[in-house]
Amino acid sequence: MKIIFNNDNRIFTLFCLLNKIGYDSENNSAMHPLRQKIRRELSASKNNLPNFEALFRKYHQSQILEAFLHFSEFPEFILKTEKWQTTLPKIQFLKAVPEIRNFYSKNNIANLYKNSQSIYNKKIKAIKQSVQDDIKKTFSFFQIKTSVKQIVLIPNFLDAYWRGYGPSINDLQYIIFGHCKTLDKFKFLIRHEFLHGLINPRIDRRIIIIANKLRRQMLLSENFKKQSYQQKQIIINEYIVRGLNLIYIENNYKKNIKELIAKEKQKGFILIKSAIKEIKKFK
């Protein structure tokens, strides 16, 4: 499995768009300086983006991001894969494509992207070897079957701190990661998204068994019963990923994870201990 770092003008352009039209979510006390700068640069521009804004109102940014990854990089931004591998309807996204291309050219995103490269490259240089080693170690530790041939890691400081995405398109897994304040937090976030890419396709029989056992336990919850099938699967995947990540930390850092389990429960993952227990049966 090949692991590379890459700056990507599709992700940069997407988050320029999102920040421009009202994506203000942040986990830190302040946005990353690059994000603040880009928002200032774009604040005076006026853009006609009715179709893209409709997508933003209806779909999560992760779904829009997956759609972007089906296209080539800018300035062409043309559909490059036959199979549409996201829940966002293709026809709705295609309506927004002319607006997206126009936004890219009208706001000179190419120049903004070029001027941001030194910030991204400096961070990549600082974390690259340690992150690559951690991914290899994680894959070796869990031995989960996967069809992924290459992992592409893309830094994205125009999003909230500690936020990431791990979509797979064909045999590529992308890991898009926001800024973190320490190397360990970068590794934790990237490992989390890497594990999402491994378990979401549900290729490994062990993952299917664990998911079914968790589903039976969670059906006791009235709130869980009300969720759609897709929402239930997202919740179960999240439990498995968080459980795997804590097991990895416990074994490879020789760290007591009681405090981390308590933090997960505070976030609403009250069955995290059950998830860990079920996962450990297969290790």
Residue 46 in any domain: the answer is yes
Alpha-carbon span 169 to 175, nearest angstrom: 11
In the beta sheet, which residues pair with residue 169? 172
Q: Using one digit for the tens of pLDDT, what is the confidence trace for 77-99?
A: 999 988 998 889 999 999 999 99
How much is the pLDDT for 201? 54
Taken in order 248, 253, 258, 260, the sign of the CA dihedral is negative
- Angle (CA) 51 54 56, round 5°: 115
Tell me if 195 is assigned to some domain.
no
Does residue 233 belong to any structural domain of this protein?
yes
CA-to-CA distance for 39 and 16, rounded, in angstroms?
Answer: 8
Pairing of strands 172-177, 164-165: antiparallel
Which pLDDT score, from 0 to 100, does residue 236 have? Answer: 85
Structure confidence by residue, pLDDT tens digits, 226-272: 665 567 778 888 888 999 999 999 999 888 899 999 999 888 888 89
Are 264 and 258 in contact by the 8 Å Cβ rule? The answer is: no
**Residues 91 and 14 placed together within one structural domain of the fold:** yes
Domain check: are 162 and 66 in the same one?
A: yes
Q: Are residues 144 and 234 in the same domain?
A: no
Domain termination site, one of 122, 154, 172: 172
Of 131, 155, 172, which one is at a domain's C-terminal end? 172
Question: Does residue 208 sit in the same domain as residue 120?
Answer: no
Which neighbouring-strand residues pair with 173? Answer: 151, 168
More confident residue, 275 or 113: 113
pLDDT score of 87:
86
Count of domains in the chain?
2
pLDDT greater than 90 at residue 135: yes
Q: How far is CA 78 from the centre of its chain?
A: 22
Evaluate the omega torsion of the peptide bond into residue 75 and state whether it is cis, within 30 degrees of 0.
yes
Please tell me whether residues 109 and 244 are part of one structural domain.
Answer: no
Give the C-alpha separation, 19 to 52, whole Å: 13
Residue-range definition of the domain harbouring residue 82: 2-172
Q: What is the pTM of this model?
A: 0.90
Handedness of CA 56, 59, 60, 65 (dihedral sign): negative
The string of pLDDT tens digits covering residues 166-192 is 999 988 999 999 999 999 999 999 999
Residue 203, token pair as written in the block: 């290729």
pLDDT at residue number 4: 97
Residue at a domain's end among 149, 172, 195: 172
In a domain, 129, yes or no: yes
30, 160: one domain: yes
At residue 156's C-alpha, the angle toward residues 155 and 157, to 5°, is 115
Residue 122 lies in a domain: yes
Residue 176 has which token pair? 């898009």
Q: Give the angle 233-239-240 at the CA atoms, nearest 5°.
A: 90
